[in-house]
A and B are shown apart, each in its own frame.
Chain A
């Protein structure tokens, strides 16, 4: 395997492409997300997207915030060559909701908010509370792992250049 520090920097673009692809899939291909789960689920863009456009000597950062924010500025930034560096997501299964932000370069999960769990009132409650939380965190992690697997499988296939990129360009310029 490559040196960790080298591979972190050398392949940063994979995280940017993953989040850009994810945004595209959420907008245009919800059926792909539904295929990943046995139960009916929905995945939507949450309340924050951060894009960065690195031109020769300048770095332009575009942040779109707000629950019902229009994402046109983000699409415009993509047209100018920006990449997605942070994406806030809302994942719903039945009446349960997970909210979290994925960071492109590190795949850190930030601000993960899971469905409500029971309160911990005594020392005896801790074990159950931990297991319940782990189960809920795992749901969000499994989702992002499945999505990343779908992305990376496409990314190393011929379909990426032949089919996916033309469709994404069509979405960006439509």
Chain B
């Protein structure tokens, strides 16, 4: 779901720490280093990386295209190859029949069957193109706030991992406790009370 979609879902984060100055150059360097690699001609079945917001299938971080107004705007891309199990089954059956005919045997050993399955899976993975999923994000650097345009757990987990790997800055998800503790400007006394709270019973 993209930032410009008519309906969006947002997970909010707080970014802990600052980037090395000059910030736009550091950003460009980190984004380029962790840009999404192409796995179409590779045996990998999954890859994760950054891509440009306006060119998600042709990432370009050379210019400052990730800077819009005072925001950093770019996207997380997850490319996955999914080989249908029925296709693996069909090609395993074909390969098994071919080997049996070639050797004149009636059965294959368990190890041979496993090796055939591994071989078939990697050959098919190489032939199948990866399906991309793109998730936009906006980083308000001055306010240390990041909006990620997905609430999918898997996408959020990938974001947190890649973000830390790219920028060496932790992302803290803003759920009720972290929002209260980090964003609401509570005093130390109020934060002490917050830690000790327990659930209210509204029933009589």
Q: Which range contains the number of A residues in contact with the other chain?
A: 35 or more
- Residues 190-204 of chain B, each 1 if its beta carbon lies under 8 Å from chain A, else 0: 100111011111111
Interface size for B (C-beta < 8 A) is: 45
Query: B176 to A165, Cβ gap below 8 A?
Result: no
- Residues 115-133 of chain B, each 1 if its beta carbon lies under 8 Å from chain A, else 0: 0000000000000000000
Tell me if A96 counts as interface (CB < 8 A to partner B). Answer: no
Which residues does chain A contribute within 8 Å of B6, judged by CB atoms? 113
Query: A152 to B8, Cβ gap below 8 A?
Result: no
Query: B178 to A7, Cβ gap below 8 A?
Result: yes
Query: B174 to A107, Cβ gap below 8 A?
Result: yes
Task: Determine chain B's interface SS by DSSP, over half rule.
Answer: mixed
Binds A, one of B24-32, B77-85, B92-100, B180-188: B180-188
Query: B204 to A112, Cβ gap below 8 A?
Result: no
Which residues does chain B contribute within 8 Å of A120, judged by CB atoms? 4
Tell me if A91 counts as interface (CB < 8 A to partner B). Answer: no
Minimum C-beta distance from A151 to chain B (A) = 9
Query: B10 to A137, Cβ gap below 8 A?
Result: yes
Query: B203 to A14, Cβ gap below 8 A?
Result: no
Instruction: State which residues 140-173 of A face B: CB under 8 Å.
Output: 141, 145, 148-149, 152-153, 155-156, 160, 165, 168-169, 172-173
Query: A107 to B54, Cβ gap below 8 A?
Result: no
Instruction: State which residues 114-137 of A face B: CB under 8 Å.
Output: 120, 123, 126-127, 129-131, 133-134, 137
Which residues does chain A contribute within 8 Å of B11, judged by CB atoms? 106, 108
Assembled-state Cα–Cα distance A82/B21 (Å): 51
Tell me if B36 counts as interface (CB < 8 A to partner A). Answer: no
Query: B173 to A4, Cβ gap below 8 A?
Result: yes
Interface residues of A, Cβ cutoff 8 Å to B: 1-2, 4, 7-8, 10-18, 20, 78-81, 103-113, 120, 123, 126-127, 129-131, 133-134, 137, 141, 145, 148-149, 152-153, 155-156, 160, 165, 168-169, 172-173
Can you report 8 residue pairs joining A to B where beta carbons are below 8 Å apart? A4-B178, A11-B177, A81-B201, A81-B202, A107-B12, A134-B138, A148-B176, A152-B186
